[in-house]
Structure 1
Amino acid sequence: MQQSESGALSIRRWKFFAQIILALHVACSLFVLLMPLLVPLGVWLAWPWVLNPWLRYAHLGLVLFIAGEVIMGKPCPLMVWENHCRIRAGMPLYTTGFFDYWVEAIFKIPFKDWMFESIFLAVGIASVAQFFLQGPLS
């Protein structure tokens, strides 16, 4: 294999890794944002999976982890890893936070850090309250 083919393969590999991390980040974001809506709906519709202890503890743990990141002003590890892959692939980096970047890119809505923090605070409070009010089935 020639040098240029090896370099192109490496770039494709790093782009692939960046896309995998992006997909994981989107899945985690949807999980965090949708669970506070799905739990009461699922209780009302008698969906047993919404009270699954593994699911509920995973959600609460992820919410608390993100809260810790926000409080300490640390970037999300997924964004750090994706940016690392983007550097290796020669792709543009996020100029803002993950959530900010994609809300602006998709919906063309200017998004500031305080907006993310406010949304996350509301989701976090709702998630913690919901966990204790409608906890997982043992």
Structure 2
Amino acid sequence: MSTSRAARLAPVIQMAERAEREAAVLLGRAQGQLRQAEVKLGELEQYLADYQQQWISEGQRGVSGQWLMNYQRFLAQLETAIGQQRQSVNWHRANLDKLRDTWQQRYARLEGLRKLVQRYRDEARQIEDKREQKLLDELAQRLSARDSG
């Protein structure tokens, strides 16, 4: 009976394995997307630092009012882009956390099901061992009774 309980759980375990694998794939994808967003943010910040260094170099030589206005406009656009990219990084980080939680839940459910199936198999093995032992004891009693009789 216990073996059939374990066998009946096989489709449930397959579904749980599929769900866990899907969650793991999504988690891996999200990790890659976060890495890309962080790299892009780093590039933008480096570009800003380089651009500011250019300002210092150009400023020492003297700049026109037009150059200064263009510089300030571009700087504002760059800072906006950096702010947006920071928001993107934060969103990807939160999404990664959510997907990690989902994967952990699915993994825990799968492990719980696997342990339950193992318990059912162990119980079935114990029942079968007891049944065999009982048969052997009965056979030994019959042989003993026949030999002494």
The two structures have a TM-score, normalised by structure 2, of 0.34
Higher helix share: 2
| Alignment TM-score, normalising by the size of structure 1 | 0.36
Q: Which has the higher contact order (CA 8 A, sep 6+)?
A: 2
